[in-house]
Amino acid sequence: MKKSFLELLEEEKRVVFDMKYFKNSAIDFLNKAETETDPAIKESHKRIASDYEEKAMKAEENLLQIRKEMKQYISFIETL
């Protein structure tokens, strides 16, 4: 095992927080884009929202990987 279970838990906590932040930020910028009248600013808000959505997807993939490592760690402990 490369990381302790505590390190994995702390990493999971950070990634969950980041994922929520990215998703909420994407929603906020999409809402701003809907109410914006200036087309340039509207497109800018949509682009920023898209960036946050991409970051949220990467965070979710990272979270799945962390949980997979946690499962492996638990399986290893069970065999002892």
pLDDT in tens, 34-59: 999 999 999 999 999 999 999 999 99
**Alpha carbons 76 and 8: distance in angstroms, whole number:** 15
Q: What is the pLDDT, as a whole number, of residue 2?
A: 85
**Alpha carbons 58 and 67: distance in angstroms, whole number:** 14
Average predicted confidence (pLDDT) for the chain: 96
% of the chain at pLDDT higher than 90: 92
Q: What is the mean pLDDT of residues 23-33?
A: 97
Is 80 exceeded by the pLDDT of residue 1?
no
Residue 73 pLDDT level (bands cut at 50, 70, 90): very high
